[in-house]
Amino acid sequence: MTHSTTAGADEDRRHFPATGRAAEEVLDELASHRSGDVRWDEGRTFGLVFDGGDEVRAVAEEAARMFLHENALNTAAFPSLAAIQSDLCAWTADLLHGPGGTAGFVTSGGTESILCAVEAARERARSERGLHDPEMVLAVSAHAAFHKAAHLFGLQTRVVPVLADRTPDLNALADALSDRTALVVASAPQYPQGVVDPVAEMSAMAEAVGASCHVDACMGGFVLPFAAMEEPERWGSPPWDLGVDGVTSISADLHKLGYAPKGASVLLHRSRALRRHQTFDFDGWLGGRYVTPNLQGTRSGLPMAAAWAVVRHLGVDGYRRLVRSTLEAAERIRVGVRAVDGLDVPGEPRHHLLSITSTDPSLPVFAVGDALAARGWHHDRQGPPDGLHLTVSAGNVPVVDRWLADLVEAVDEVRAGGLDSGSGDGAYSTLE
Q: Point out which residues bind ligand PLP (CB under 6 A).
A: 109-111, 114, 143, 145, 187, 191, 216, 218-219, 253
Residue 331 sits at φ, ψ, to 5 deg, of -65, -40
Tell me the Ramachandran region of residue 125: left when phi exceeds 0, alpha when psi lies from -120 to 50, beta otherwise.
Answer: alpha
Q: Report helix, strand or coil for 206.
A: helix
Measured distance CA(281)–CA(298) in Å, rounded: 15
In this complex, which beta carbon is closest to ligand PLP, that of residue 143 or of residue 277? 143
| Nearer Cβ to ligand PLP (180/269) | 269
- Partners of residue 4 on adjacent β-strands: none
CB of 320 vs ligand PLP, minimal distance in Å: 21
CB 191 → ligand PLP: shortest distance, Å? 4
* Closer to ligand PLP by Cβ: residue 254 or 367: 254
Among residues 89 and 254, whose Cβ is nearest to ligand PLP? 254
Question: Is the distance from CB of 177 to CB of 144 less than 8 angstroms?
Answer: no
Closest distance to ligand PLP from the beta carbon of 225 (Å): 16
Q: Rounded distance, CA 82 to CA 86, Å?
A: 6
- Answer for the pair 208, 366: CB distance below 8 angstroms, yes or no: no
In the complex, the smallest distance separating the C-beta of residue 162 from ligand PLP, rounded to whole angstroms, is 14
Residue nearest to ligand PLP (CB): 110
Of 219 and 322, nearer to ligand PLP (C-beta) is 219
Q: What is the DSSP track for 247-286?
A: --EEEEETTTTT-PPSS-EEEEESSHHHHHTT-EEE--ST
Residue number with CB closer to ligand PLP (143 or 158): 143
In 130-262, where does DSSP find H-type helix? Answer: 145-153, 170-176, 199-208, 224-230, 232-235
Q: How far is the CB of 279 from ligand PLP (least distance, A)?
A: 20
Shortest reach from residue 300's CB to ligand PLP, in Å: 15
Buried b (16+ CB within 10 A) or exposed e, 319-346: bbebbbbbbebbbbbbebbeebebbbbb
